[in-house]
């Protein structure tokens, strides 16, 4: 691996002599993967451990100002899982070619920077900073950089963190099986107007056993309406005009607690072809409102369809 270079004197002078540097090792890889190494996904445990680290960061108010990630799938997924579990958007992650290659010529101008890369790269960074720190997949290193010198503040191993997540915020009193944002969801009822009536687009559930409408978790940084539009595109392969005001909401139990779902109506303006439909393995069909109400698995949706 090419020797890592950190221009600490220049960076710390620009920042008034102090900054925090967080280095997160990419989570463990899926061992069954046979494709390109760069696209190797996280194991389920790797996702979970990244979320645990993110929840710890949220609890300690360590929101990064800048996030740089190696471009491999494991590093990017680790960064996304950690940020969202901390309650922050994952939309501002920047990929770094030098970091991907195991080098780093400089750091962004920010008070707190998060780097996400394979553990070997993080180990090289630590060694160059003359720090004796053991790294492994999923571990978070928190450093203070002051006047060109680095000191270790925390070494967080997700295996030593609690298995449950605070709710409803990073410092919330309740503990749940999944990160807090999982329990805030939105759904969309796609519809079109015909000469005879209003038709509803319904799709098969991921298991194929039920008829549903697109629904998903509202990710940090997205509004419920924006999230609903994304679900419509991914799950049903449609785009359209969504009403700003929700039709209503309902609750259901999952992951050991109650999820709240806001439901929106969307008039479809475009049906995506199969090649552009991300989840084209699902079956979809247009059906009149009465028929959709009878077929849908979620009873609460029946009364909402009548409001379109």
**Domain range annotation of the chain:** 8-164, 180-305
Please check whether residue 50 is in contact with residue 138, taking contact to mean a CB–CB distance below 8 angstroms. yes
For residue range 96-151, what is the model confidence (pLDDT) as tens digits? 999 999 887 678 888 999 999 999 999 999 988 889 999 999 999 999 988 778 89
Pick among 3.40.50.800, 3.30.70.2470, 3.90.79.10, 3.50.50.60: CATH of 180-305: 3.90.79.10
Place of tokens 């098969």: 204
Residue 288 pLDDT grade (very low, low, confident, very high; cuts 50, 70, 90):
very high
Give the H or E element holding residue 305. Answer: helix 300-305
Per-residue confidence (pLDDT) for residue 275, from 0 to 100: 85
Please give the DSSP secondary-structure letter assigned to residue 133. -
Q: What is the pLDDT of residue 6?
A: 55
Find the helix packing angle between 73-85 and 44-59, rounded to 10°: 40
Q: Indicate the average pLDDT of the chain.
A: 91
pLDDT at residue 14 is higher than 80: no
Please give the share of the chain, as a percent, with pLDDT higher than 70. 94
Distance of CA 185 to CAs 4, 74, 145, 188, 302, Å? 42, 26, 39, 11, 18
pLDDT value, residue 129: 85
* Predicted structure pTM score: 0.89
Look at strands 94-95 and 66-69 and give their pairing: parallel
Q: Do domains 8-164 and 180-305 have the same CATH topology?
A: no
Q: Are 216 and 185 in contact (CB under 8 A)?
A: yes
Higher confidence at residue 122 or residue 10? 122
pLDDT in tens, 218-268: 999 999 999 999 999 999 999 999 998 999 999 999 999 999 999 999 999
Q: How many CA atoms lie within 13 A of 295 on its CB side?
A: 20
How far apart CA 265 and CA 247 sit, in angstroms, is: 7
pLDDT value at residue 293? 92
In the CATH hierarchy, which fold is given to the domain comprising 8-164?
Answer: Rossmann fold (3.40.50)
| pLDDT confidence of residue 38 | 87
In this model, does residue 7 exceed pLDDT 90? no
3-state helix, strand, coil in the chain (%, to 5): 30, 30, 40
Half-sphere exposure at residue 231, Cβ-oriented, CA atoms within 13 angstroms: 32
**Given this model, what pLDDT does residue 15 score?**
46
Q: Could you give the CA distance from residue 290 to residue 308 in angstroms, rounded to a whole number?
A: 12
Q: What is the pLDDT of residue 79?
A: 98
């Amino acid at each position: 691996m090419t020797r890592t270079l950190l221009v600490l004197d220049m960076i710390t002078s620009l920042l008034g002599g102090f900054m925090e540097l967080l280095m997160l090792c990419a989570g463990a890889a899926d061992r069954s993967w046979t494709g390109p190494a760069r696209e190797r996904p996280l194991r389920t445990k790797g996702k979970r451990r990244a979320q645990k680290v993110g929840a710890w960061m949220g609890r300690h108010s360590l929101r990064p100002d800048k996030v740089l990630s190696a471009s491999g799938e494991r590093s990017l997924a680790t960064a996304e899982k950690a940020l969202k579990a901390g309650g922050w958007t994952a939309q501002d992650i920047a990929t770094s070619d030098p970091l991907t290659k195991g080098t780093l010529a400089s750091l962004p101008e920010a008070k707190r920077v998060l780097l996400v890369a394979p553990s070997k790269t993080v180990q090289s960074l630590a060694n160059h900073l003359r720090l004796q720190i053991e790294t492994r997949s999923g571990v978070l290193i928190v450093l203070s950089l002051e006047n060109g010198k680095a000191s270790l503040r925390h070494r967080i191993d997700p295996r030593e963190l609690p298995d449950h997540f605070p709710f409803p915020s990073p410092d919330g009193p309740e503990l749940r099986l999944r990160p807090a944002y999982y329990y805030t969801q939105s759904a969309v009822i796609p519809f079109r107007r015909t000469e005879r009536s209003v038709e509803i687009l319904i799709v098969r559930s991921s298991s194929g056993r039920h008829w549903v409408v697109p629904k998903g978790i509202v990710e940090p940084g997205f509004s419920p309406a924006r999230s609903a539009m994304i679900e419509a595109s991914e799950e049903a392969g449609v785009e359209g005009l969504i009403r700003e005001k929700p039709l209503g909401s309902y609750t259901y139990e999952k992951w050991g607690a109650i999820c709240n779902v806001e439901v929106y109506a969307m008039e479809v303006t475009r049906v995506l072809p199969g090649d552009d439909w991300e989840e084209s393995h699902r079956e979809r069909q247009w059906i009149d409102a009465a028929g959709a109400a009878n077929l849908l698995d979620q009873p609460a949706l029946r009364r909402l369809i009548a409001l379109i």
